Amino acid sequence: MKLLVFIAVLACAFQVYAEEEEVQKEDGVLVLTTANFKGVIEQNEHILVEFYAPWCGHCKALAPEYAAAATLLKDEQSVIKLAKVDATVENGLAEEFQVRGYPTLKFFTSGTPIDYSGGRTAKEIVQWLKKKTGPPAKDLSSVDDAKAFVESQDVVVIGFFKDQDTDAAKEFLGAARALDDTSFGITSDEAVMKEYNVEGDKVVLFKKFDEGRNDLDDITKDSVKKFVTMNSLPLVVEFNHDTAPKIFGGEVKSHLLIFASKSGADFEKIREAAAAVAKEFKGQLLFVTIDTDEEDHQRILEFFGMKKENVPGMRIIKLQEEMSKYKPDAEDLSEDGMRSFVQSYVDGKLKVHLLSQDIPEDWDKEHVKILVSKNFDEVALDKSKNVLVMFHAPWCGHCKQLAPIYDQLGEKYKDQDDVLIAKIDATANELEHTKIQSFPTIKLWKKDTNEVGEYNGERTLNGLSKFLETGGEYGMAAPDEDEDYDEEEDVDEDSEEDVDHKKDEL
């Protein structure tokens, strides 16, 4: 009997050993499957998992940085591990962890996952993980420690406190816990305070650009958070995948976007002019350059109704529940031109700019009518008809799938005088009274009342017909998973080229 028990124990031990052996690595990153996922998560207290698709452009861009982060952690002998899951193969895991876009990163601590919210460079990944697993601020007990910390990154924040048990020190640490993408240090060492000319409690942000240093004396959790987010970016920020989260997640919601070719002869002159004006409006507007040489940025130009011949140019956006856009009277990118444009915006003298295409000559030739901003109200708000409108985007995969069904719907109701089927390219046409958050969106303007109903039922000829015939009652259910403006790539492989959604970038 004892022999049988011993054999059973050996068998279990061998099975565990075999499971551990099955976990392969690629560039230092654990490769997880449905078979080994649970075991690896249980065996590692801290593990970051990337759910990816082989065809995903963002995943390909992340891969070398993710591998470099794994190497950095290994070199530091950290217990934190990095892993990845091919979500196109391991569908069950993707469904279990509600993967809706690629890449999706989840950080597991003792088996409990949270969403990753850090940057996408190796240093930013490691920094975020350290903040989540270690103290919120590094103790700096000597001048050498402080100097090494200041030199370690482009932006660091140090709290100087004679007594770290004070309310101010506790508020500082609360802010440090809340800001995952910034490294914080704390010191009470007199020599360190003397080295950096600090007397009394103070928070100092050190940076390798612009002024080089910013100081804060009024120390609360909220004031420190605002201070850091406002000062951790350059006066003029270059837009890219790394800076985008900081640009759009910051405290300043009004942005001057400068569209210019980075390789152009006048780029540096434009940037210098922008920096001069940015100093005057610091805290009110963020100044952002967008390199129009980048292929990925062409859709941003399209979003603003701009073409290559409009470059260099500028626009202002205000990020709120509904984004507002503002256009200058002239594309004058001199210092005076920028200052005048920004001052007019701050003074509330500018009107919101709405895009519109010209009305096509054959807009009503087909059974599905083509609307633009300029003819929308005249057609859609005609109280003698039930008017169904599909708001679509040229790059939207779901829109392309729906198009033939929608054409059939137009054919079906072509002879019914009180029904009109229409569509509008919502990326090139904007309406003051109707804002679109995802594609495709289908809305019904009801006969007699112009009451608006939105369709969220199945995208079939039968479903859309019922929606019309019930006056918008049928189909008022939970919405399908439309293509919204997610920074990550849509999980539909067919839509790979269509998913670099510009409204999230802006």
Q: Is 56 a catalytic residue?
A: yes
Q: Are residues 127 and 162 in the same domain?
A: no
| Together in a domain, 114 and 41 | yes
87 in a structural domain: yes
Residues 125 and 145 in one domain: no
User: Which helix H or strand E contains 291, and what residues bound it?
Assistant: strand 286-291
Can you give the residue range of the structural domain that contains 95? 25-133
Model confidence, pTM? 0.64
Structural domain includes residue 197: yes
Same domain, 166 and 223: yes
Are 123 and 143 part of one and the same domain?
no
Q: Are residues 376 and 428 in the same domain?
A: yes
User: What is the per-residue pLDDT for 178?
Assistant: 86
Residue 354 in any domain: the answer is: no
The per-residue DSSP string of 227-264 comes to: HHHHHSS-SEEEPSTTTHHHHHTSS--EEEEEEE-TTS
Query: Where are the extended beta strands (E) located within 87-221?
Result: 101-102, 104-109, 112-115, 138-139, 155-160, 183-187, 202-207, 213-216
Question: Which pair of structure tokens corresponds to residue 228?
Answer: 């850091």
Amino acid at 135: P
Q: What residue type is 345 in one-letter code?
A: Y
31 and 108 inside one domain: yes
Same domain assignment for residues 416 and 453: yes
Indicate whether 6 belongs to any domain. no
The answer to whether residues 224 and 150 belong to one domain is: yes
Q: Is residue 167 part of a domain?
A: yes
- Whether residue 490 is contained in a domain is answered as no
pLDDT score recorded for residue 428: 87
Residue 470, CA distances (Å) to 387, 441, 453 in order: 13, 18, 11
CATH value at residue 384: 3.40.30.10
Catalytic residue (one of 29, 56, 186, 228):
56
**Domain-terminating residue out of 88, 116, 133:** 133
How far apart CA 66 and CA 59 sit, in angstroms, is 10
CB 369 within 8 A of CB 413: no
Distance CA 105, CA 362 (A): 47
**From the candidates 73, 192, 228, 396, which is the catalytic residue?**
396
Rounded Cα–Cα distance for residues 321 and 312 (Å)? 28
Q: How far apart are CA 37 and CA 57, in angstroms?
A: 25
User: Of 115, 133, 151, which residue is a domain's last?
Assistant: 133
- In sequence order, the 6+-apart residues with CB closer than 8 A to the CB of 354 are 325, 373, 430, 431, 432
pLDDT digit of tens for each residue in the chain (506 aa)? 433 333 343 344 434 433 444 689 999 999 999 999 999 999 999 999 999 999 988 899 999 999 999 999 999 999 999 999 999 999 999 999 999 889 999 999 999 999 998 888 998 899 899 888 889 999 999 999 999 999 998 999 999 999 999 999 999 999 998 888 889 999 999 999 999 999 999 999 999 999 999 999 999 999 999 899 889 999 999 998 878 878 887 788 999 999 999 999 999 999 999 999 999 999 899 999 999 998 888 888 888 888 888 899 999 999 877 788 999 998 899 999 999 999 999 999 999 888 888 999 999 999 999 999 999 999 999 999 999 999 999 888 899 999 999 999 999 999 999 999 999 999 889 898 898 888 999 999 999 999 999 998 889 999 999 999 999 888 764 444 444 434 444 444 433 333 333 333 33
Task: Calculate the dihedral angle through the C-alpha atoms of 123, 126, 129, 130, rounding to the nearest 10 degrees.
Answer: -100
pLDDT of residue 119: 86
Q: Of 284, 290, 327, which Cα lies nearest the Cα of 305?
A: 327
pLDDT on residue 107 = 94
Task: Specify whether 43 is located in the same domain as 77.
Answer: yes
- Number of domains forming the structure of the chain: 4
CA–CA separation, 387 and 446 (whole Å): 7
Catalytic annotation, pick one of 47, 53, 59, 70: 59
Tokens of 15: 């099975």
Helix (H, G, I), strand (E, B) or coil at 397: helix
Q: Does residue 358 lie within any of the structural domains? A: no
Give whole-number Cα distances, 127 to 115, 116, 119, 395, in Å. 15, 12, 9, 35
Instruction: Please say which residue of 183, 200, 230 terminates a domain.
Output: 230
Tell me if 3 is assigned to some domain. no
- My answer on whether 119 and 143 are in the same domain is no
- Looking at the structure, tell me whether residues 201 and 263 fall in a common domain: no
Active site residue 59: yes
